[in-house]
Structure 1
Amino acid sequence: MPLTQLIATHDLDLALELCQRTIVLSQGRVVYDGPTEKVMSDPDLLAEHALEPPLSYSRPYCQLEHDPA
């Protein structure tokens, strides 16, 4: 049975951990709707809407394109 949860948060680390899809609202308007990892790795979009990147993305080893061996 499919399960849908709605999580409203400013905790981007939590969103990155729990959510496959993210909708970003700014001044009551949808400014992004798509994969969570994509928006979290877009520093320009985050900065434009006063969001700080998740802490995990500020660590260099988390920015690898593949899992370390």
Structure 2
Amino acid sequence: MTWLLRGVRWMRWYVRELTDESAYDRYVAHVRKEHPAATVPSRRAFERMRTERAESDPRQGFRCC
């Protein structure tokens, strides 16, 4: 049973890393460690910041969609 649980945990970790869903968790950990007095933005605000940053980057202009 432990091997099955370990496999499920690994698969969850892999999918989250592949889809970059864990980016918010990494960002929150960074802000809390490096800037403890700063407020952590909500996940929605974080995703908006990421989207705006990606759209303002000239290297991202070659997207098809």
What TM-score, normalized to structure 1? 0.29
More strand by share: 1
Higher relative contact order (CA 8 A, sep 6+): 1
